Structure 1
Amino acid sequence: MVDMTSHLPRRAALALPTAALAVALLAGCVGSGAQSGDEASGGAADTSAVEESAEGGGDGVGVGDADRQVITEGTVVLAVDDPRAAANDAALLVEHAGGRVAERVENAGSGVDGVQDASASLVVRVPATEVSRVLEQLRAFGDVRSVQLTSTDVTGDVTDLDARVRALETSVGRLEALLAQATTTQAVIEAEQTLTDRQEQLEQLLSQRALLADRVEMATFRLEMWTADAAPAVAQTGFWGGVSTGWESLVTAVGTVLLVVGVLLPWAIALGVVALLAIALRSRMRRQVTTASPVATPPAEPVGVGGGASSGDVPRD
């Protein structure tokens, strides 16, 4: 750093570090990595250059194939005679290749020897440079039913993280220099707080960078081992795969409808019988009521001769 105080009066030279520290603290509230709190001391140009390099390298332009950062992940399905024994051999193979087993699950099968319908599943991590050789050696264990590996290019992410780490390291270094030149307690407290924030951000970026580097260096894939009769069928792709999937869904839907009909049919029959009995009982009750209470007709009254005479009057001669 160029000493700008050599051409200033002594009083101005003493006041310059404090002023520079205050400006740096104000500027530090704006950025989060690339725009650091030391812009007032001439670090803005360097930080901008780092940001431009990150933006330029984010899409992998100008990066050779050997320098690309690729994450390899996937699944391998094997049909073997004894899944548990094959799992042991696969674990030894991975360890000899410089890898490790991250997860292991074994399921005992039926039968006398416990092999029928048995299965084993391993999540293995092997060096990315050893993936092809490990897959080739796995073919000796049994029938490889499927291999599904995906490669994700993260060169841009790695370049961006590296640029941010360099910018924060530069910011931390300059904040430490400003802290050493602070002359007041308030300036020291503010500088330490800003420096702590920058260091936390730097540690987070370093952790992300280490995790990404580990995923690039070590390929991760799941190794599933089944007996020949229990191995899952390989899913078809393309047009015929779509036809097969549609037919399976149709069969499943029809089976579901038939199942629902089969469940509801006994209930429907029972409810129908109850309804018929209720209708028959109601009709019988109506017939009984009609027969037991017939409608009676009143007797006709005789009409007298003189009008108004009762039926007991005897007419005179």
Structure 2
Amino acid sequence: MTGPDLELPELTPERQDDIEAALFADIRAEVSRSTKQSQRRRRRAWGYTGAAAAVILVAGFVGPALSGTGASSSAGGSVELYDEGAGGAMAPEANGDLGGDGGGVAEENGSTAATGREVVATSSTVLEAADPASAVGEIGDRADAAGGYVESMNVSAAPPAESSGDVATSFGDGTWITVRVPADTLSDFLADLDDVGEVRSSEISREDVTAQSTDLRARISALQTSVDRLESLISDAATTEDLLTAEEALSQRQAELDSLRAQSDALADDVALSSATITVTEPGEVVAADPQGFGDGFATGWNALVATVNGIVLGLGFLLPWLVVAGIVLAIVQVVRRARRRARVRNGSPEA
């Protein structure tokens, strides 16, 4: 059959419609596939952007929390702060069941001996008074009346304490007094300072020295037994050499015993008499804290921006190890999913 004799099948309108429908179906499938890929890329981009924004937001909250400072207390002890808004009640700051108010603290003072615990209490107070010298004298008189004494004091002219809002700042030099009062009256003594002036801040710290005191008593008892034995040996010494040796050992033991007894007596005195240091200042002018003018507003805004950036950087540093671990887990999941997808495609393809 030659070329001129070749006859093509007749192209009917129905056949043309089928070819056009198949062509347009292929075009639509290609467009749909391209659109889905574009949407998938956009969703992935939005997901990454949202994750980055979430990380920055979390870092902004975590950073200030990590850089914030809190009140701390001495090892083995507790700290109580004077709450001026609660009418002079002593609010516990850390460690120990100190009660919720000044009455709870007083109960602890009175129950120390009953529980067998030996606690050394010290306090630090800032007091505002129009006449600091007169206030110091009255505080000393109150300490004497409570059964204590004035340990040290200093009265000198000093500039008034600077204050901002309700917080006063005291200086190292100026008028202050340190008194010793019976431990069971310390809370009442501090509460009564409101009659002398305005208490700006007050803090009580307590240290449990029961173990230290018990150890000292045990060592004293052991050394006393050794001293008694050496004295017996001296009285029974048969030779001069034995006598000199026993006396030398007795001298060493007696010196150690006297030193331990002095430490024990000093510790017992600290337990029985609490130390209270009161710094007395004159009322100061309250410094306005609000920014005034464009310059102050700009400086305040700049400082806030720097603080926020520092908090975000600190938060990112905190979150970085978690993000690395999360990225590794996500990469492993993606690899497994792709491997499974390839396996399904391979199993579903026809064999050659």
Please give the TM-score of this superposition, normalised by the length of structure 1: 0.49
